[in-house]
Amino acid sequence: MTNQPFSHTKFLLLFSTLLPFLVISQSPPSDQEILLQIKQEWGNQSQIQSWNSTTSHCQWVGINCTGGESVTGISLNSLNIEVEIPSSICHLKNLTYLDLGNNRIPGNFPTFLYNCTKLQTLDLSANYFVGELPNDIDNLSLDLQLLNLSLNNFTGNIPTSLGRVKGLITLHLDSNLFNGTFPSELGDLENLETLVLAYNPFTPTKLPENFGKLKNLKFLWMTQCNLIGEIPKSFADLASLEHLDLVDNSLEGGIPSGLFLLKNLEFLYLYQNLLSGGLPTSIEALNLVELDISQNNMTGIIPDDIGKLQNLTILKLFQNQFHGTLPPSISQLPSLTQVRVFKNRLSGTLPPEMGLHSKLDSFEVSENAFTGQLPENLCLNGKLRGVVAFNNYLNGTIPSSLGQCKSLLVVEVYNNSLSGEVPEGLWTSEKMMFMQLSNNQFSGQLPEMTAENLSLVELSNNKFSGKIPESIKTWRNLQVFKASNNMITGTVPLELTTLSQLNTLLLDGNQLSGELPSEIISWERLNSLDLSHNDISGSIPSVFGSLPVLTSLDLSNNQFSGQIPPELGQIKAPSLNFSSNQLTGEIPFGIDNSAYQASFLNTHLCSDTGFLDLPKCSIRQRNPNLSSKYLALIIVLALVALVVTLYYMVFIIREIRQRKNRQDLDTWKLTSFHKLHFTEEKILANLTEKNMIGSGGSGKVYWIPINQSGDAVAVKRIWSNKKMSSHLEKEFLAEVQILGTIRHLNIVKLLCCISSENSKMLVYEYMEKQSLDKWIHEGKRETISSMSGSIHYPVLDWPARLKIAIDSAQGLSYMHNDCSPPIIHRDVKSSNILLDSEFNAKIADFGLAKILAKPGGEPYTVSAVAGSFGYMAPEYCHTTKVNEKIDIYSFGVVLLELVTGKEPHIGDEHTNLAEWALRHYNEGNPIKDVLDKEVQEPCYLEEMTNVFKIGLMCTSALPIYRPTMKEVLQMLQRRSILEGSGGAKTKNDRDVSPLLGGENYISSCKNSKRIVEEDVYSMV
């Protein structure tokens, strides 16, 4: 059979038969197959284990489909994904929505997302992305409308090409580490409605005029962006603008008057800048809800047109230079809840109708020059929580209506000329906590009953009279009672000693008489007692010697008689005063020393020790069987022999030392930073082993007495008998450079430095109670010997711990905010917080400290990471640039130590106290469970809980969430209970920090955001 040629027709027939199979074999993978591949590339993360081929992929967690099988959306927010995004995700050709926010995804910006050509929403916020954004970022989808890259670690510049992604409506780049510039080209995004650049350390940059072209912009947030210069006048062209936040920058000049003509503007936050000039007299932004331009340099008058803002709820103009009156029209606003105009130069009378037309919540007008009376109707609508009007010239009485105000927490009207009696209902207002009425002309008697929560009462320098009521025992939560310089009569009742929470009691300058109670029922927390300048008689109660935490006792200028009980020799109070009484006899041994030189003036007391300038006590009866003549002879001969021997020994020793010192002193140089009462010879002569009190990697520490009164200094000797190493040289120079120039009560005082070729010494004030860690960590508490006697480390109670926290915060706040340029400690820890004899805390050890800015404002860069494990901020391990936030993180760890009693490292080397505390909090466990059981008591629980939360805020993983040291100090001090940090919170804030809980704190830290949880604690 002959072969027939393979015809063209047959070939076509065969090809058409095989074509379907060829097509099938080359068809792209299905969306389900792509998703399963992504699951495999992600390492089968537990959160997406439910993705499997047995069910429709459109039913899988985080997957959204349109039209049956086509995947259009992926939302895997908050699933703890810890690996990079697979590039295969863009094989989903119809993907329009991708949300991978709030995970732990590492790496650089994933440029393969350019291949997701239909993407409209891209959310990569709150991950661990690093590096710079690519310059070709405009290759993202032309359809992209929302880009959220906030809460990452991106650095460098924001690329100008981003201004070419024309479809963008929402752009979030806040809370990163951008340290370059942001481009004016963002003003070319004509569709943009939301622009958030807040919390980035940009290089100092002016706001671009070009931003005024954003006609559709509704929301602009640029808090802490290092803005300088003036607010562009072109911002008055932002006709759609509803929310403008330029808080905490260095903006200067005037506020463009056009901003107050924007019809849609609801929230205007410009506080904490350098703005000056006045407010415009014409205000037409009638939709304004919150106006905050506090903490600037604004001048002029407050315009009457503010009274046209019928929707205004919050008005904050405090800490400026406004003068004139507070316009009465403001009191007519129906929605107004907060008026905060304190610390200006305002005068005149307060609007009498304030509170009559709105549900006023807080009224703060302190530190002005207001006259006249407090408005009668402040609490007419029953919502008022605080009246803060101290340091004015107010007169008249406290309005009787405040006596019926059940919502009040705080009344601060001290330093005025108010008179009359305090309304009875004010004392018993059920939520009342703080009443500060000092330095007025109030009269009347102390109340029989007070509010259960009342913890602070200050009445000093008024005309209160009558007796202390026996019912004072019902003031159970009272912690501070100051009633100095009044006309209170009668005796100090036994019932007063039942107040177990009392820590400060000042009743000096009254007309108290009779004897003090011989029994004290419950003053375990009392640390300050002043009964001076009264007419109290009888003996001093011996039980005063058993008050465990008493640090100040003043009984002077009374009629006490008899001896000082021996039990008072056990008292540890650094401040004592028994002067101007009828006391007789010998001073108890424990307090008979030079530290109390001025404590026994104008008395009939005596002392045989020679420490005090007092008469000698009577010589005890001699033995009648021993002849006085022989006794005198024996004493004289013994003394002569002793003097001769001592003289000979001293002569020889002095000659040896002088020879050596003459050789040594020629090589030593003393540089003093304070007036000194000793010489380098005195220091060098006492550098002996018996005076050594500590040692470390850089040298030894010595206790050196400098006079016979018991005064001493601490000397840190570096590089003894060896050539100096470079890092020790740097530590020495840092310590001298910083401590030699700064002065603060809560920073250890460097008196001088003494140096030679091979050895250097730093001479400090001596801190008797040593370091904080020895008082709060159970494993370190023990009785040790110091040069001034044995120190026992008992449990440090909560009031003392809180005071130490405040002291330390004051020192750090001074370094960060009041030094120019700022100083960064870099090694804040409990062992570097020293305590003096009165438990005042001081920051020490500045060997690693850095002055933050170089000349010209350039950020400080370090060549190596330094610090202590458990205290180092996470970003410090992978960046060479340092700022205040690393100190704030370390201080947050110290706060957690104070409230939990735990050491900074818990468990293995990968677990520290901050992480452990955060995990406990995020798992919803009660905070009470981790507080130090040795100091945890019901009365302190809320305060300890609040400090625990402050510690968590300070140790936030990202530095932009940490408050400033000044804000931390304000939270700890509760200096302005109503104000907190002066921040404005709005419904537009996407992440909100927990407020500091309950009714003790009325507002939270300014615009605080963090990643602990999205809990919102309502203001009570």
- To 10 degrees, what angle do helices 965-973 and 798-813 make? 150
- 703 by DSSP, 3-state: which? strand
Cα distance between residue 704 and residue 1000, in whole Å: 46
Alpha carbon 29 to its chain centroid, in Å, reads: 56
Show the tokens assigned to 936: 């945890």
Q: What is the DSSP string of 36-66?
A: HHHHHHTT--GGGTT--TTS-GGGSTTEEEE
Secondary element (H or E) of residue 806: helix 798-813
Show the tokens assigned to 487: 């006309």
Q: Tell me which residue has tokens 């016979």.
A: 708
Q: What is the DSSP string of 940-980?
A: HHHHHHHHHHHHHHHT-SSGGGSPPHHHHHHHHHTSSTTTT
Cα distance between residue 536 and residue 307, in whole Å: 57
Residue 98 to residues 43, 105, 166, Cα–Cα distance (Å) = 19, 14, 19
Are 931 and 917 contacting, i.e. CB atoms less than 8 angstroms apart?
no
Give all strands of the β-sheet with 128-132 in edge-to-edge order.
106-107, 128-132, 153-155
Strands 712-718 vs 699-705: parallel, antiparallel or unpaired: antiparallel
Cα distance between residue 799 and residue 475, in whole Å: 19
Could you tell me which residues are beta bridge partners of residue 371? 349, 393
Could you tell me which residues are beta bridge partners of residue 559? 537
- Among 292, 827, 887, 932, which one carries the catalytic annotation? 827
Could you tell me which residues are beta bridge partners of residue 71? 65
Q: Counting Cβ atoms within 10 Å, is residue 929 exposed (0-12), middle (13-18) or buried (19+)?
A: exposed
Q: Tell me which residue has tokens 């610090």.
A: 867
Is residue 827 part of the annotated active site? The answer reads: yes
- To 10 degrees, what angle do helices 938-954 and 965-973 make? 170
DSSP state of 553: E
Which phi-psi region, left, alpha or beta, contains residue 745 (left: φ > 0; alpha: ψ -120 to 50)? alpha
Are 98 and 89 contacting, i.e. CB atoms less than 8 angstroms apart?
yes
Is 690 annotated for ligand binding?
A: no
Could you tell me which residues are beta bridge partners of residue 141? none
Residue 390 to residues 366, 370, 418, 440, 668, Cα–Cα distance (Å) = 5, 10, 11, 10, 55
Candidates 131, 129, 149, 151; CA nearest to 140 is 149
Backbone angles phi, psi at 639, to 5 degrees: -70, -40
Cα distance between residue 313 and residue 360, in whole Å: 9
Cα distance between residue 755 and residue 752, in whole Å: 10
559-570 burial code (b ≥16 CB/10 A, e <16): ebeeebbebbee
Candidates 132, 131, 181, 142; CA nearest to 164 is 142
Binding residues: 716
Binding residues for ATP: 716
* Catalytic machinery residues: 827
